[in-house]
Amino acid sequence: MFEFFLGLLVAFILTIPALFLPVAGDRQHYQIKNLLSVHSITISALYSVFVSLSGSPLFGGALGIFLFYIFSVVSCIKYRILKEPVYFSDIVSLGVLLKNPSFFVFSVPPVGWVVLVGLILCVPLSLWYCFTNSLNVRLYAVGIILTACFFYKKIPVYLDISEPDWRRDVGRLGILGMLAVYWALWKKQPAPSPVSVSKAKAGLDIVLVIQCESYATPSIFCDASVDKIRLPFLEKAKALAYSQGELLVSGFGAYTMRTEYGVMFGRTEAELGFCQYDPFLTAQRDKTYALSYQMKAAGYQTVFMHPHSLEFYGRNQLMPVIGFDAVDDCSTVQHTPLPGEYMSDTVLAEVVINRLEGATAPLFLYAVTMENHAPWPGNPQEALQHYLRHLQSSDAMLGRLMAWLEEQDKSALLVFFGDHRPSIQGIAYQDRERSTPYVALSFPECKKATSSCALTPAELHHLIRSLSLEVV
């Protein structure tokens, strides 16, 4: 018993510094009493889990401390790059990320990989070396785990956590404590009531929505080289747009699915609650809210197109459920991207046009691009130049689609927007805003916007819906 609780005390004391790593920014709002109280529950549970597996307080303490710091340091890295801590949804998505290492490998410093490899090698050996058959120690551990679970259930009530706010809660719960509490509240969150599909018919021949990866204007960067970069087709689109302006996205440098969900389903972050960090995890139960579901009911053929693995975010399973007749990963398209790059946006534009030309009924096509996605090779300046080159390709895509639609004798709506700004390490940004540009153009007669209008992804959803459906 003495060794067990001594190990727990040591683990508690040695992990306290990790609570104050630079994740939440403004530390003056930390609630030290609550933070240490929740930390005692968190580290007790973590320590006890490993003791129950090994029967060794030494193994439980060492691995518990190590993993606590791993979570804290990873959260710091994520905060430095994406301005957010680690969430429970990141853990859920870990399997998909490991299948697509190019999405994150560039953001982990070399020392991080050394530590990870060391962990993979040392943990099994340490478990073998420290393993005991001690029943008493395991009983203590199980008792602590059950006690921790009891207190965790009380934390949301005691601290009045009814909605997510990581800036508030990371200073009250710590990273792991917040992860556990938010996960529990996410599990309890009820599904929204289904919406009835309104009696409507297709109002246009073509509704084309382009979600452009990491699309932003060059002016967001504090770099002299961007002054020479022009996006002429974006400027032309703004001048002709029915609506244009800033899209108020929630993610920076990642989290495509948040913007995608907002535009597709039209539900706000406030409505999503604890599902907002990865709304695709529960999106199947929201299917009646989806544009594709409502468009299909109104008589549109519905197509989802994305030149990448559809397993990412579970799109291969989600998209058919929410009403897409066809889901295309563009794997049959012949193209030769440079090493380490994705299908270019100009190539995707031609694939989209081929699909539009083959339409025999009103068509709703939602395409997600990939060209602008990280990693961008080289030092920060080289990475920026790579990104700007890709950005001009995105602009060319917009111009090609506009030109094709202008030539058609069909009514159409083209919506083009960025899902988030890029995160290029070592390059300064003009501001901390997260907005991206969007344009919505009607054809054949473009209705000019009277002014710029800032929209949330959910508001853009409702704009698309109102312009595409006719109530009968």
Q: What is the mean pLDDT of residues 105-126?
A: 65
pLDDT-derived band at 100 (thresholds 50, 70, 90) equals: low
Q: Is the pLDDT of residue 331 over 60?
A: yes
Q: What are the pLDDT digits (tens) for 401-453?
A: 999 999 999 999 999 999 999 988 888 898 888 899 999 999 987 666 556 88
Ranked by mean pLDDT, the top range of 39-48, 106-115, 253-262 is: 39-48
Q: Bridge partners of 419?
A: none
Q: Is the pLDDT of residue 103 over 60?
A: no
Q: Distance (Å, rounded) from C-alpha 321 to C-alpha 319?
A: 5
In one-letter notation, the amino acid at residue 355 is R
Q: What are the pLDDT digits (tens) for 157-213?
A: 999 999 999 988 998 999 999 999 999 999 999 999 998 877 889 999 999 999 999
pLDDT-derived band at 113 (thresholds 50, 70, 90) equals: low
pLDDT-derived band at 73 (thresholds 50, 70, 90) equals: confident
Alpha helices, DSSP H only, in 192-289?
A: 232-240, 256-265, 269-272
Q: What are the pLDDT digits (tens) for 201-217?
A: 999 999 999 999 999 99
Q: Is the pLDDT of residue 137 over 60?
A: yes
Q: Bridge partners of 200?
A: 471
Average pLDDT, the chain: 89
Q: Is the pLDDT of residue 338 over 90?
A: no
Q: Which residues of 372-397 are buried (b: 16+ CB within 10 A; e: fewer)?
A: bbbbbeeeeeebbbbbbebbbbbbbb
Q: What are the pLDDT digits (tens) for 353-385?
A: 999 998 989 999 999 999 999 888 889 999 999
Q: Is the pLDDT of residue 26 over 90?
A: no
Predicted confidence at residue 28, as pLDDT, reads: 61
How many other CB atoms sit within 10 Å of the CB of residue 99? 11
Are the CB atoms for 268 and 337 separated by under 8 Å? no
Q: What whole-number percentage of the chain has pLDDT above 70?
A: 90
Predicted confidence at residue 463, as pLDDT, reads: 95
Q: Which residues of 457-470 are buried (b: 16+ CB within 10 A; e: fewer)?
A: bbbbbebbbebbbe
Residue 279 or 20, more confident = 279
Domains contained in the chain, CATH given = 2-188 (no CATH), 200-471 (3.40.720.10)
pTM: predicted TM-score of the whole model, two decimal places: 0.90
Are the CB atoms for 158 and 58 separated by under 8 Å? no
pLDDT-derived band at 296 (thresholds 50, 70, 90) equals: very high
Q: What are the pLDDT digits (tens) for 224-271?
A: 889 889 999 999 999 999 999 999 998 887 788 999 999 999 999 999
Q: What whole-number percentage of the chain has pLDDT above 90?
A: 62
Residue 128 or 313, more confident = 313
How many other CB atoms sit within 10 Å of the CB of residue 451? 7
Residue 125 or 210, more confident = 210
Predicted confidence at residue 106, as pLDDT, reads: 54
Predicted confidence at residue 22, as pLDDT, reads: 81
